Amino acid sequence: MKSLQIIKNKIVEQQQLALIIARWSFLGEKIVFTNGCFDIVHQGHIDYLSKAADLGTKLVVGVNTDNSVRRLGKAENRPLQDEESRKILLSALHFVDLVVLFDEDTPLELIKSIEPDVLVKGSDYSIENIVGHELVLGNGGEVKTIDFLEGFSTSKIVEKAQLK
């Protein structure tokens, strides 16, 4: 199989997710879920996602659709990269096992369908403010936060690019 096809095979629709997750659960995989916009993938994202992957055996990344990003109230020109580009970039990371889009304002429905063993967000969230924490904890799972790598953010990259 060609490399690009392997990358694209990691991108799934929400309807496909249940079967894959069921198979992984049957095989005893520890499923980790996180989500975000991932507009410009940078060193901070790599650090965060690799640490999230280390918390289990399979990492599923929920990616906000373009419309969802716009509703989050980010800058007017965001996302800078369309959802197709963002999905491909994330799925190219060897430690990301699946990438799935979600169009809702929060990933709660996605979390309900995945029922991850570990739910992960950045440490700028408290556990109580992480969407889906009650569901995951109620199912016997874990909710973790990961510190961001200091000095790396999409906003800072955009600011720096605009100064030129």
- Report the chain's C-alpha Rg in angstroms: 15
Does the pLDDT value for residue 72 go beyond 90?
no
Helices (H), the chain: 3-9, 14-26, 43-53, 66-71, 83-91, 108-114, 133-138, 154-162
Structure confidence by residue, pLDDT tens digits, 26-59: 999 999 999 999 988 999 999 999 999 999 999 9
Pick 72 or 8 by higher pLDDT: 8
Are the beta carbons of 60 and 98 closer than 8 angstroms?
Answer: yes
Are the beta carbons of 59 and 34 closer than 8 angstroms?
Answer: yes
Position 78 confidence tier, pLDDT thresholds 50, 70, 90: confident
Residue with the two structure tokens 């496909």:
16
Tell me which H or E stretch contains 67: helix 66-71
Does the pLDDT value for residue 125 go beyond 80?
yes
* pLDDT for 164: 54
What pTM, to 2 d.p., does this model score?
A: 0.92
Domains of the chain, CATH where assigned: 3-162 (3.40.50.620)
Q: What mean pLDDT value characterizes the chain?
A: 92
Pick 151 or 24 by higher pLDDT: 24
